Amino acid sequence: MTQDAAVCADARASRISELKPLINKYQIPSNAKAIRQIANSLGPYLLLWFLMYLALQVSWWLVVPIAVMTGVFLVRIFIIFHDCGHGSYFSSSRANRIVGFFCAMLVFTPYEQWRREHAAHHASAGNLDRRGLGDIWTMTVKEYQQASTGKRILYRVVRNPFFLFVIAPAYMFIISQRIPLRSMKRRERLSIWQMNLAVLAMVSTMMFIFGVVPYLVIQLIVITVGGSAGFWLFYIQHQFEGVYWERDQNWDFIDAALQGSSFYKLPRVLQWFSGNIGFHHIHHLSPRIPNYNLEQCHDSHPMFKDVRAVTLLSSFSAMSFNLWDESSHRLVAFREVKKIA
């Protein structure tokens, strides 16, 4: 290790030691809060499915809006599953696994495989040399300029908002997460097959109750609404004005958390439905903080409050960001590439 690298390592260690006292107490799970959140999330979700069963006997005009609302609650259920995957939701690791697996089934996601991939995302977010681990495909301007015509077209398709927030979520949750890859470890492949069996049992039961076509239509609406909202949240958490990206040698964990993960300041009702995940800078600073403690941690110190907020209105402009320009250290739109060149 060079002298400069050693100095940087010492500085990072010092920053982490300063932050630990601020965040440690918020890392302690509250089983009471977790149970209340399950009750006000899973309870309404299951009740809405029951209402859709009754509404089918009346009119699809009643079913569709209920299905949309069910999809909104699915976002909150995903956050519970997400926290269980981090081992932060309950004090018991066994409870995290059981509840996490059940919620993962509802969101059609293999629990163990997703947990490992998401941990890799936390270890690499904002690192230009470690892209591709549980994140949205982002090219640098130079990479885009040097890419083949076919790759440029593919990238433009992938970054198209309709593909990104409608097609991609449905494809990922319904299809791609059902297929184990050879590159995966045996435990991850087993996780996918276990979830496939659980999903098959759930889907078969629901088809028996609702009928094949009605269930498929309803589930498609639910998973599309929930998945699209979830993809948007994940997108805006790491694709916004002023976001942090660095090459590996300059990458810093704390800067990546506080500058590379957004503070998405949502209206209260949307904050509730999204399970406080808008405090994403706090979540990346410590994934061990459960969602029900994120806001308290954010409010505990001026340093966190100084993080620039991304508002609901300002967030929509982020859809125009497509490439990372290393020369100016910012995200840019496709139309700016010629100017940069």
Question: Taking a C-beta distance cutoff of 8 angstroms, is the pair 247, 324 a contact?
Answer: no
Determine if residue 2 is left, alpha or beta; phi over 0 gives left, psi from -120 to 50 gives alpha, anything else beta. beta
Convert the pLDDT of each residue in 194-253 to its tens digit.
999 999 999 999 999 999 999 999 999 999 999 999 999 999 999 999 999 999 999 999
Structural domain including 89 reads 3-340
User: Could you read off the pLDDT of 285-317 as tens digits, one per residue?
Assistant: 999 999 999 999 999 888 887 888 999 999 999
Check pLDDT > 60 for residue 158.
yes
* Structural domains in the chain (count): 1
- Cβ-contact 128, 248 below 8 angstroms: yes
pLDDT at 6: 44
Give CA–CA dist 91/160, Å, rounded.
41
Model pLDDT for residues 243-255, shown as the tens digit of each residue? 999 999 999 999 9
How many angstroms separate the first and last alpha carbons of the chain? 36
Q: Is the pLDDT of residue 340 over 70?
A: no
Angle at 63 between CA 39 and CA 43, to 5 degrees: 5
Q: How confident is the model at residue 341 (pLDDT cuts 50, 70, 90)?
A: low
Q: What is the mean pLDDT of residues 167-195?
A: 93
Q: What is the 3-state secondary structure (H, E, C) of the chain?
A: CCHHHHHHHHHHHHHHHHHHHHHHHHHCCCHHHHHHHHHHHHHHHHHHHHHHHHHCCCCHHHHHHHHHHHHHHHHHHHHHHHHHHCCCCCCCHHHHHHHHHHHHHHCCCCHHHHHHHHHHHHHHCCEHHHCCCCCCCCEEHHHHHHCCHHHHHHHHHHCCHHHHHHHHHHHHHHCHHHCCCCCCCHHHHHHHHHHHHHHHHHHHHHHHHHCHHHHHHHHHHHHHHHHHHHHHHHHHHHCCCCCCCECHHHCCHHHHHHCCCCEEECCHHHHHHCCCCCEHHHHHHCCCCCHHHHHHHHCCCHHHHCCCEEEHHHHHHHHHCCEEECCCCEEECHHHHHHHC
Task: Give the pLDDT confidence of 23-35 residue by residue, as tens digits.
Answer: 999 999 999 999 9
Check residue 92 and give its pLDDT.
Answer: 97
Band (pLDDT 50/70/90 cuts) for residue 338 is confident
Mean pLDDT of the chain, nearest integer: 92
Give the pTM: 0.91
At 86-126, the pLDDT tens digits run: 999 999 999 999 999 999 999 999 999 999 999 999 999 99
